[in-house]
């Protein structure tokens, strides 16, 4: 088995990421075009690779002294291997290196595993955005972590 590594997500990875999006998020999945827009806007996307296979990815946007976690996902077949932890540790280190004072995110209120991960990292709830996810009408919890 190959060792896991983190590297930048590139445009040629987007078809595989878009497939993962559909498998993980269903009707709320980001399209390949939207992912391309994220990269072209200069947002920082990283992926955990095993060989050439993408096991998970996370995207962030930096604004002044705060960073937003735009999305994070781990392939179902790669869960419970520390992939999400690798991504979180990496993006927190990058946020600190860029001088961010806080990290923000939105998470579906029914995504309990993700909320547990964020709790372990010290995120606290700030509020709820009602009907945030357009296709399902699911609310999103807004969370913040001080860096």
- Would you place residue 131 in the very low, low, confident or very high pLDDT band (cuts 50, 70, 90)? confident
Reply yes or no on whether 106 is catalytic.
yes
Out of 118, 121, 132, 133, the active site residue is 118
Computed on alpha carbons and rounded to an integer, the radius of gyration of the chain in Å comes to 15
Is the model's pLDDT at 146 over the cut of 90?
yes
Provide mean pLDDT across the span 22-50.
93
> Does position 39 have pLDDT exceeding 90, yes or no?
yes
Mean pLDDT of the region 117-146: 91
4-146: which CATH architecture?
3-Layer(aba) Sandwich (3.40)
Residue 119 CA to residue 42 CA, distance in Å, equals 28
pTM > 0.85: yes or no? yes
Would you call 18 helix, strand, or coil by DSSP? helix
Tell me what pLDDT residue 64 has. Answer: 84
- pLDDT value at residue 84: 94
Residue 8 banded pLDDT, cuts 50, 70, 90 = very high
- Establish whether 133 is a catalytic residue: no
What are the residue ranges spanned by the domains of the chain?
4-146
Is the CB of residue 115 less than 8 Å from the CB of residue 141?
yes
Q: What is the pLDDT of residue 1?
A: 59
The arithmetic mean of pLDDT across residues 88-106, rounded, is 95
Give the E-state strand segments of 9-75 in sequence order: 44-50, 53-63, 66-74
Q: How far apart are CA 55 and CA 52, in angstroms?
A: 9
Helix, strand, coil tally for the chain in percent (to 5): 35, 40, 25
Identify the band that residue 134 occupies on the pLDDT scale cut at 50, 70 and 90: confident
pLDDT for res 58:
96
Find the mean pLDDT for residues 82-94.
95
126-130 average pLDDT score: 93
Among 38, 45, 104, 106, the one annotated catalytic: 106
What would the two tokens of residue 56 be? 């998970």
């Amino acid at each position: 088995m190959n060792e896991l590594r983190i590297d930048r997500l590139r445009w040629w990875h987007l078809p595989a990421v878009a497939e993962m999006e559909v498998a993980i998020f269903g009707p709320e999945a980001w399209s390949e075009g939207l992912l391309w827009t994220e990269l072209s806007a200069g947002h920082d996307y990283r992926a955990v690779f095993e060989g050439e296979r993408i096991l998970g990815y996370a995207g962030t946007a930096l604004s002044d002294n705060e960073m937003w976690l735009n999305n994070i996902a781990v392939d179902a077949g790669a869960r419970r291997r520390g992939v999400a932890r690798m991504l979180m540790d990496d993006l927190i280190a990058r946020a600190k290196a860029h001088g961010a004072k806080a990290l923000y995110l939105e998470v579906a209120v029914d995504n309990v595993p993700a909320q547990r991960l964020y709790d372990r990292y010290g995120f606290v709830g700030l509020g709820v955005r009602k009907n945030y996810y357009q296709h399902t009408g699911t609310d999103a919890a807004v969370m913040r972590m001080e860096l």
